[in-house]
Structure 1
Amino acid sequence: MSADLRAWFEGYIAAFNRNDFDGFGAYYAPDVVFAGQAAQVVGRAAVLDFYRTVKAHLDETLDLLTFVGAPDGSRIAAELRTSLVARRDWPEMPTGAMRAGDRRESVNFVIYDIEDGHFVRVRSARFGRGAA
């Protein structure tokens, strides 16, 4: 089960990295509770609206560093490296202003609670910041 769960999750990461909103959006339950570093929102539509805003300003990619899947498929704990490159100035960025060309990298621990093949709750905490 864990290998299948990892492959499923890697599909999410791949869709996210290629800006496939329909693809990665399909992983979120309609009423998902999302508590990220830059936003705390409820609902798939709100999560996708948040990422549309982010990806309009930045190139954001995720690299899966560590994966732990619950044997029953109900939860994933992941260590993710997030890389951001600003395509344009974003002085109002929730985690701190970025100017065109700025780069940021951070390592985050993210817990995904899963029901019926969808994320119902996503919680993120920053572990460390890489080179800017």
Structure 2
Amino acid sequence: MLDRAGYDRYLAAFNARDYDGVADFYVDPPHMEFFGIVITSRQELKDFYAWLHDNVEENVRVLNFAASETCTAIDAIVRITAKKDLTRAALDAKGATGFFPITAGVVQEIRQFIFYTTRGGRIEKVECALPPMALETV
């Protein structure tokens, strides 16, 4: 089970940009599909987040948390601050077709529901959903 204490350790590694530490929370190979991105290996996971965080600052604030033996569910605010312009063309070229374009210096707060399928306390699959009107530019 990925309980709240374990998730907090995962989130601390994520927010610290410790991609090896983040990858350690996943089964090998991981399977993630969100907003056009598909990740099927530990290296793809590390490469994607290195690319993303080269372009934006990203921080996750948990609003609600639930966990069972096979699922951890998060209701969160994801705060994105653009370091560089990310155009529609640049996002599409990376396969991030469901991401929102953003201009350097702009801050977006996005409410997300993140569902982690877990096996043996490790993340096996990640799915994300946005409620209607989930994006707010701050």
Q: TM-score range by the shorter chain?
A: 0.7 to 0.9
1:1-132 alignment to 2 at 5 Å? 5-70=3-68, 73-91=69-87, 92-93=90-91, 94=96, 95-127=99-131, 128-132=134-138
Amino acid at match of 1:53: W
The CA RMSD measured in Å over matched residues stands at: 1.7
CA distance in 2: counterparts of 1:65 and 1:114, whole angstroms: 20
Gaps of 5+ in 2: none
- Indicate conservation of the 8 Å contact 1:29/1:43, yes or no: no
1:21-74 superposed Cα distances (whole Å, 9 cap, x missing partner): 12112111121110122512212221221111100111011111110111xx22
Q: Secondary structure at the match of 1:130?
A: strand
What percent identity do the matched residue pairs reach? 23
CA distance in 2: counterparts of 1:38 and 1:51, whole angstroms: 14
- The size of the alignment, in residue pairs, is 128
What is the TM-score of this pair, normalised by structure 1? 0.87
CA distance in 1: counterparts of 2:43 and 2:28, whole angstroms: 8
What is the TM-score of this pair, normalised by structure 2? 0.84
- Indicate conservation of the 8 Å contact 2:20/2:46, yes or no: no
CA distance in 1: counterparts of 2:130 and 2:51, whole angstroms: 21
Cα shift at 1:117: 2.6
